[in-house]
Amino acid sequence: MLRFINNLRGTLVSFISATDYLLELDAESAARIAPLLDSENSHALALTLFSATQMEVVRVDGRDGATGKFNAGRGEEGTTAAAWPAGSVFEARLTAAFVDALPRQALAMILTNGQDVLVGSDGDVLWDAQVPTYQFF
């Protein structure tokens, strides 16, 4: 599950190549992100690196204990992993994949205790685990 944080904008402290997966973020941003990624909540956080000419979505899903840098899945959501210089700007942004996943996440929270069918107040089946289609009214 993705988690978001309001008004987060920061910078990379050090250069990353297109194949690096550890990000060193500025201290203020790191302090705000770290509590979202504790051992009980290993949720991903979507960050968007951007410049005037390129953009990359990354998923931050933990922190490397040895270096304090953040683990990142690079080139997410159809973007391409790129080299980014120190000082590159990132923001926590709402992404298409998160919005697309909202119905599934909402249903996952509703369907508990082994239930695999969600029925609306009118008796219509809104979701069936065997036939994953969605109807929202």
The 10s digit of each residue's pLDDT in 89-120 is 998 887 887 777 777 666 665 655 456 666 66
Q: How far apart are CA 63 and CA 68, in angstroms?
A: 6
- Please, which pLDDT band fits residue 27 given cuts at 50, 70 and 90? very high
- Least confident range of 2-6, 20-24, 76-80, 104-108: 104-108
pTM over 0.75: no
